[in-house]
Amino acid sequence: MMHSLSSLSRMGRIIGLAVLVVILGAGPVMARVFYVTRPRVQADLAYRFKQDKSITPTRRKDNKENLYTEKMTAASRGYIFRPAIFLFDLTLAPSWGQTRARSNPGEAAASRSFSLDYGFDGTLLRNMPYVLNLRANRGFSNSVSSRSLNTTQSSSSYGADLSHYTRTNNYRLDYLTNNRTMEGFYPETTKDASLKFDFNHMNRRHFWSINASHDKNSRSSQGQTSNSAADALSLSDNLQITGDRRVNLSSLFTANRTASQTNTTNVNVAESLNWRHTPAKQRLQISSHYTAGYTLNLHDGTSSETMPLAASVSLSHKLYDNLLSTLVGSGSYVRFTGGNEKRYGANLAFNYIRSIPWGSINLALGSNYQVDDRTTTSGRIYVSDEPLVFDNTAINLLVNKGIDLPSIHVFNAGKTIEYDRDFDYIVTLAGGFVRINRIIGGRIKSGDRALVSYTYDSAASVKTADIGRSFGAGLSLWSVFNIHYSLSLTKADDLGGEASTTPLADDSNQQVTAKLDFGWSTTSFDAGKQKRVNGYSSRRWQITQSFSKRFLANLSLAASGTYGRSVTLDSGITSQNYSLNFSGGWQPSPYSMWQLEAFQTVMTTNDPLRTESSGVDMSYVYLFRLWSLDLTYSYALDRQPLVGSEHVSNTLNLKLSRAMR
């Protein structure tokens, strides 16, 4: 293996030298057959300091790193034949680096590295209906640490894409492969390959597309080998059945398969028909909507199916441009693994807008009736992908009661990562509800969105009728002041089914918002009270004040502050939060600019929990002809002092560059 690696390194040096000779020695060779420009050279000198400190009740980490980097890039362009049939770019980029790191007090390490990257990009038949692009990049690096550890790494990337563009049809076929081999203290081999195909057909009334991809990954490290593969296929079709675009049919088919440690297959088919029965300018509008679908999920031998059918009819009437009346009737039937659910009902709404000498007033009134008939073979309901936001100022409670705690799984928004309980998040009970909090120092950051799956207990057969009423009023004055109030009431009646310990809904929701906006100053107030029989009830209010001002032409400042309180009535959890934000920008000359941002957020609860977040971001840019100087600094602190968790991050970057010429 070492002999083959030495051969590859020798070959890479020879190829790199050949590319350098072509770039530096060719010069402007002007001919009808071949042309290469003189090389353009760019130089970069960079320094980075990074500190990452994390403290939790179970572990402690304090890493510091200093990195110095020098890099030079030489690039040249050329073509073959004129007019150009084949255009190409050649690049050569050697770089040198020094690293000094300390993982913990007394554990210091240093390393030196050299890498040589060179690449080739070519385009055949540019600006023609058929275009072929070729890509190739190769790199070698060698690193020697203070512990006499020698690490050699080689990487290569090859790819090509073929595309064809016409007025009605477009397609693209793309292939890319990456290989990386590392020899030394941590031997590792990684291979990636991907193949993608995209096709679109479009005319005046019809658009359909095909998207397919295949990805394969293989990784071998320290005697362990892992392989994964993923396939995806998507077919979509959108057809305007009538020339006036009043009838539209949409079709979708998707299939995904992943194979790694676990095997997952998802298939989805959906049809949707939208029909506008009346002309667009008529005061009385009648429209209908129909959908049908099928979803199959397979996961390591277990399967689940869903078949939804739905239809709705909408009638709306506009009187004197002030009063809009809407009547909607809808029905749906869903068959899923373990049961089925039928829903049907109607909704009637009125919306009145009237102009007054100083602004406008708005009144809204609505009423709805819906029957829900659900039958399951067991008393457990599976919930998939319930959204959750890990905000430091929010109390994260799941919607349902009676949740089976071991069935809870938390994923990232893209569902590519499953978080670990008691390392990334903790689960606690709060008045019959389940509360999920992130652990500082884990993989979940403040503001991250997540998806939660779980099962909860429910009656096997339930048939209820929900009767709802809503009211809203709003006032707008001088385009400066706005206030709005809304109230909704929902009450459920039992129409039959199995006896259940779950009480019937008798819910209410009130909300008031107000905003005073002068442009440079904005004050907003938001308050609400929510009462839910089968969910958590809460009461909250929040006030926000912000200022923004541009002084002269080169200085701008902005500041804002927020304070609020919330109470979860069922669990008795009370929280209060405040946040401060500041940002500014200063441009002392046409060639330089300073920017600064700072924030602090604190939330405390009576259970007890206190979460503090603060940070500073600063940047400076200076430009002079071909030279540029970039300076950035970032500081972030997340901590929960009552449980002993803390995460601190310091990053300083300094870069001096000379642009290509």
Lowest mean pLDDT, pick from 3-12, 143-152, 434-443: 3-12
- Tokens 């089976």 locate to 404
Integer Cα distance of 123 and 160 in angstroms: 10
The 3-state secondary structure of 450-470, one letter per residue: EEEEEEEECCCEEEEEEEEEE
Rounded to 5°, the CA angle 625-631-632 comes to: 140
| Residue 655 pLDDT | 94
User: Residue 55 has what pLDDT?
Assistant: 79
**How confident is the model over 556-594, as pLDDT tens digits?**
999 999 999 998 887 778 889 999 999 999 999 989 999
Q: In one letter, which amino acid is 570? A: D
Contacting residues for 6 by C-beta, under 8 A, at least 6 apart: none
What is residue 614's three-state secondary structure? strand
Q: How far is Cα 262 from Cα 174, in angstroms, rounded to an integer? A: 28
Spatial distance between the Cα atoms of 64 and 69, rounded to a whole number of angstroms: 17
Average pLDDT of the residues in 200-228: 87
Model confidence over 91-142: pLDDT tens digits? 988 898 888 888 766 667 788 888 888 888 888 877 677 788 888 888 877 7
Pairing of strands 40-55, 645-658: antiparallel
Chain-centre distance for alpha carbon 178: 25
**pLDDT score, position 115:** 85
484: pLDDT strictly greater than 50: yes
Residues 6+ apart with CB under 8 A from 25: none
Instruction: Kindly state the tokens that stand for 164.
Output: 């064809």
What pLDDT score does 5 carry?
35
Percent of the chain past pLDDT 70, that is, above it, reads: 88
User: What is the residue-averaged pLDDT of the chain?
Assistant: 84
> How is 234-302 classified by DSSP, letter by letter?
EEEEEEE-STTS-EEEEEEEEEEEEESSSEEEEEEEEEEEEEE-S-TT-SEEEEEEEEEEEEEEEETTE
